[in-house]
Structure formats: C-alpha cells, structure tokens
Amino acid sequence: MTQPKIRIRGLKKSFGAKVVLDGIDLDILPGTGMVVIGGSGTGKSVLIKSILGLVTPDSGIIEIDGENVLTASRRRAKELRAQIGMLFQNGALFDSLSVWENVTFGLLAEHKIIRRDAPAKAIEILAQVGLDATVAALSPSELSGGMQKRVALARAIASAPAIMFFDEPTTGLDPIMGAVIDELIVDCVKRLGSTSIAITHDMASAQRIADTAAMLYQGRVCWSGPATSLLTSPDPVVDQFTHGRAKGPITMALRR
C-alpha cells in the first residue's frame, strides 16, 4: 500500500472553549490533490495552518513522508515543512517588495539563487503562470486581483515544492479568471508532480483542481470521496452544502 504523503490522525484544536478541530483523520496520497470543503468557521484554515506550523494543535499526529512534524525536532520539522508551497487566500504578497522580489523571496531565503540572478529567474517563473516580463518590476499594488493571484502562485511554485496548499484560490475573482487560475494550478501541480490540498467554497473549482474531497463539519471529517462525486453525494450535509440550500442539517447557529 502506498504511504500517504500527508497523514493526519486525531488532530484536535480548540481556541478557548470553542472546539475547532475535534479529531481530524485524513490521508493524502503522493501526487494527488485533495479539496477540503466546509462552512465558514469549520476549521479548514486551522487545519492547513496546523500542517504549516502556523498553529500548534492541542493533540494528534501530522505526518509528512511518514515523520510526525509535531514531535520531530524543530530543525527537522522545518525541513519537512520547507517542501510546502502555499497560495494564500488574498495572495499575501509583500507590499514593500516588487513582483520579482516577491516571486524569488523563498529562493533567496534558502540561498538557492543569488540576488543578481533573481530578476531573470522571476521572469522565468512568471512566464509559467502566464505573466510577461513587464510585470516583474511593478509593485503588488499596481496589479489587478487576478494578476496578484498569479504572482502569488508564481511565488508558491518558485521552489518547485513537493506539497502545495491553496487557500480559496478563486475567491474574489470573476468566473473566467477563476477558471484560468484553476487551470494554472492543475498545470503547475501536474508539472511539478506535487501533492496538493485546496480549501474552497467554489464547487466548480473543487472539481477542477482536486482528485478527492473531504468535508469538515462540527470539527470532524463527515464525508470523503472522489471530487467528481461532490455534487451527487447522497450525504445530506454534503448535499446541502454543495447545492447551497438554506434548509438542511447544517444550521446557521452551528456555523456561527
């Protein structure tokens, strides 16, 4: 049996009295893409931030390549997490830096290139997300939302990560630009052979960019299966969520 690239068992996290993750179990196989769906406040971002080390879980196991990052030494956990590229929901581009400095930030930090070669390297990576060289010298504030997303994607793929996370990659974009970003994500993930996890509320996007899907509800994985079966799942929670119905097992009180 293939060892999962990422294996999560019994992951729990509370903020004060609010239980956000209540025993999450997930396996993501190498080279596959999983989309995590769920209502607002169900802990999707906390799950990804826990894997990234930005949030410390209360208990549980997070394994990358069979090693538990929560019990590994700080240095080893950093090494394991260094293979993760992240596309943040709003891009999270550094305002004070130009586009080329943003794109090559990680490469320079890891001393994979020298600063003199960085602009040329950035132009090369920007081309992979469909942006031309003229963008490189601009600052993020001079770009449209779609272009900022592409630059953020370029930054995420710059070091050819083995694992990629996408936090609501199409949020705030028009449907056409959303589809373009999805295509770029699929293309980049396929080209790099990466394992990916995406969070999205966009069901069309979910089916485009992922092989499997998991739904979080009340702090747990309530359903998982092929992404293509999201819209046809008989599970009442999934059915209500994916079809956006006001009535059903998910109530607003629970989602607050």
Q: Which residue among 3, 15, 54, 58 contacts another protein (CB under 8 A)?
A: 54
Among 52, 61, 137, 138, binds another protein (CB under 8 A): 52
61 backbone dihedrals φ, ψ, rounded to 5° = -125, 135
User: Is residue 92 close enough to count as binding another protein by CB under 8 A?
Assistant: yes
Q: Pick from 88, 100, 166, 217 the residue near another protein by CB under 8 A.
A: 88
> Using an 8 Å Cβ cutoff, are 43 and 219 in contact?
yes
Please give, one letter per residue, the 3-state secondary structure of 178-196: HHHHHHHHHHHHHHHCCEE
> Rule CB under 8 A: is residue 106 a binding residue for another protein?
yes
CB of 194 to another protein, least distance (A): 15
> Which of 207, 219, 188, 168 is CA-nearest to residue 10?
219
110 touching another protein, by CB under 8 A:
yes
Give the shortest CB-91-to-another protein separation in angstroms.
9
In sequence order, what E strands does 82-147 have? 84-87
DSSP-based three-state secondary structure for 200: coil
For another protein, the binding residue among 41, 94, 142, 232 (CB under 8 A) is 94
Q: Which of 35, 36, 64, 86 binds another protein (CB under 8 A)?
A: 86
Query: In this structure, are residues 152 and 93 in contact, taking their beta carbons and an 8 Å threshold?
Result: yes
- Residue 155 binding another protein, by CB under 8 A: yes
Q: How far is the CB of 211 from another protein (least distance, A)?
A: 23
Which residue bears the tokens 């359903």? Answer: 223
* Residue 216, beta-bridge partner list: 221
Task: Catalog residues that contact another protein under the rule CB under 8 A.
Answer: 49, 52-54, 78, 81-82, 84-86, 88-90, 92-96, 105-106, 109-110, 155
